């Protein structure tokens, strides 16, 4: 992302390595199966577009994991946002802005509840966010009958429109990624996230209001999940209460974050690695499709790759210590 940094950035090298591997895999599979069309500008754009939804969620997930927490409610929140957005718009372009604002407001509220439960309530984040997720999912399933609707045609531009051949959705992912990366690397908020995740007691003694940092990190995670929800609503035209769950965005966002070198204990990692993890998943998907691999086997292979990637990190970490 940046080149003016002199210090060794372990996160970046992991990212570069992963991205290289992913691209290599994609290219080799495309050539081997004769699907060279996949290597054209359009094919590559397609590949990158597969990254958008998971990428957005995973960036948010990176924030909470870095701060030493985790968010399992993102999948339910994605569904809620998609449903809410289509319900408010009812196909009316004039309602786009209110719908987006309301959805983001919902995300802030959910993030606030998650963060408050974890930071001030002292509830284990796995349990707290699992709980909020279940609540959201339940409310959604119960009231979906009353929440029908579809997004405005103009809103679908987010998913299908573009400028100079670059889809808006990719630009959205790219700009939010860069922003998130800069926040983590260059701002006070970022430094505090690393401090709180790396050593909560030390951070507190250094005078950091650790609870507040955790709270904000959760709000960021929820907002990114909301962005993913809006994107999915635009792509699918109308939200259903299951799009988040069906996409396994909760677990996959955690998986790609960890694959990207962010450690679950917090305090180490970053957005670049996470995006590389997302790219890996996207190229695996695309590659498996080209190879015509059956959906169940695909799941198995993905699982194996997640384990392998984390194992590589474990070995690297051990080598570093010794």
Partner 1 sequence: MTAVPSLSMTGISKAFPGVRALDGVDFECLPGEVHAICGENGAGKSTLMKILGGSYRPDAGTIHLAGKTVQFTHPRQAAEAGIATIHQELSLLPHRTVADNIFMGREIARHGILDKAAMRERAAALLDRIGAQIDPQALVSSLSIALQQLVEIAKALLLDARILVMDEPTAALDERDSRTLLNLVDGLRGEGVSIVYISHRMPEVTAIADRITILKDGQKIWTRPRDAAPISEIVRAMVGRDLKDFYPSPPASAPGEVLVAITGGTNSGLQDITFDVRAGEIVGVAGLEDSGKGALAQALVGDVPFTGGTVALRGRSIDLRTPRQATAAGIGYLPGDRKREGLALRQSVRDNALLTLRSMTGIFTRPQRGALASAVIDERLRAMDVRAANFGQEIGTLSGGNQQKAIIVRWLAQASDILVFVEPTRGIDIAAKAAIYDTMRRFADAGRGIVVISSDMPELIGIADRVLVMHQGRLSGAVPRGASEEDIMHLALGLAEARHEESGA
Would you tell me which residues interact with partner 1 (CB under 8 A)?
A: 6-7, 186-192, 194-195, 198-199, 201-209, 263, 267-268, 320-322
Report the residue number, 40 or 187, with the smaller CB distance to partner 1. Answer: 187
Q: Least Å distance between CB 316 and partner 1?
A: 13
Report the residue number, 158 or 203, with the smaller CB distance to partner 1. Answer: 203
Q: Least Å distance between CB 312 and partner 1?
A: 17
Q: Least Å distance between CB 263 and partner 1?
A: 8
Report the residue number, 206 or 251, with the smaller CB distance to partner 1. Answer: 206
Report the residue number, 235 or 268, with the smaller CB distance to partner 1. Answer: 268
**DSSP string for 190-215:** HHHHHHHHH-HHHHHHTT--HHHHHH
DSSP 8: -
Report the residue number, 247 or 266, with the smaller CB distance to partner 1. Answer: 266
Report the residue number, 81 or 196, with the smaller CB distance to partner 1. Answer: 196
Closest CA to 287 of 30, 39, 40: 30
Which DSSP helix (H) or strand (E) runs through 280?
A: helix 271-291
- Written as six digits, the tokens of 121 are 């309530």
- Which phi-psi region, left, alpha or beta, contains residue 292 (left: φ > 0; alpha: ψ -120 to 50)? left
Q: Least Å distance between CB 229 and partner 1?
A: 28
Are 167 and 161 spatial neighbours (Cβ–Cβ below 8 Å)? yes
d(CA 221, CA 138): 21
Are 88 and 102 spatial neighbours (Cβ–Cβ below 8 Å)? yes
Q: Least Å distance between CB 201 and partner 1?
A: 6
Closest CA to 119 of 214, 196, 223, 197: 214
Q: Least Å distance between CB 96 and partner 1?
A: 30
Q: Least Å distance between CB 317 and partner 1?
A: 10
Report the residue number, 129 or 257, with the smaller CB distance to partner 1. Answer: 257
Place of tokens 């635009």: 234
Report the residue number, 84 or 213, with the smaller CB distance to partner 1. Answer: 213
Burial readout 91-103 (b: 16 or more C-beta within 10 A, e: otherwise): ebeebbeebbebb
DSSP reduced 3-state for 3: coil
Q: Least Å distance between CB 215 and partner 1?
A: 16
Place of tokens 């992913």: 22
| End-to-end Cα, the chain, rounded Å | 30
């Amino acid at each position: 992302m940046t080149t003016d940094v002199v210090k060794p950035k372990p996160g970046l090298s992991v990212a570069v390595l992963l991205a290289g591997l992913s691209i290599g895999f994609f290219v080799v599979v495309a050539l081997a199966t004769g699907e060279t069309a996949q290597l054209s500008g359009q094919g590559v754009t397609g590949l990158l577009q597969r990254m958008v939804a998971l990428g957005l969620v995973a960036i948010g997930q990176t924030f909470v994991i870095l701060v030493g927490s985790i968010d399992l409610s993102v999948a339910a929140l994605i569904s809620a946002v998609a449903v809410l957005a289509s319900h408010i718009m009812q196909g009316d372009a004039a309602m786009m802005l209110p719908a987006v604002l309301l959805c983001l407001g919902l995300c802030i509220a959910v993030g606030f509840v998650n963060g408050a439960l974890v930071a001030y309530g002292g509830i284990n984040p796995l349990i707290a966010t699992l709980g909020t997720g279940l609540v959201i999912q339940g409310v959604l399933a119960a009231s979906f009958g009353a929440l029908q609707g579809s997004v405005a045609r103009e809103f679908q531009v987010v998913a299908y429109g573009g400028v100079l051949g670059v889809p808006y959705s990719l630009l959205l992912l790219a700009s939010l990624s860069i922003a998130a990366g800069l926040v983590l690397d260059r701002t006070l908020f970022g430094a505090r996230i690393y401090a709180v995740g790396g050593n909560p007691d030390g951070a507190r003694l250094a005078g950091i209001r650790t609870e507040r940092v955790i709270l904000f990190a959760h709000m960021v995670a929820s907002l990114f999940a909301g962005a993913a929800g809006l994107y999915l609503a635009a792509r699918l035209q109308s939200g259903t209460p299951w799009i988040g769950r069906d996409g396994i965005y909760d677990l996959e966002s955690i998986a790609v974050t960890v694959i990207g070198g962010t450690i679950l204990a917090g305090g180490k990692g970053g957005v670049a690695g996470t995006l590389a993890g997302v790219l890996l998943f996207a190229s695996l998907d695309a590659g498996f499709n080209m190879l015509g691999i059956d959906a169940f086997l695909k799941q198995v292979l993905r699982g194996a790759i997640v384990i392998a990637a984390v194992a590589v990190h474990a070995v690297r970490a051990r080598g570093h210590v010794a």
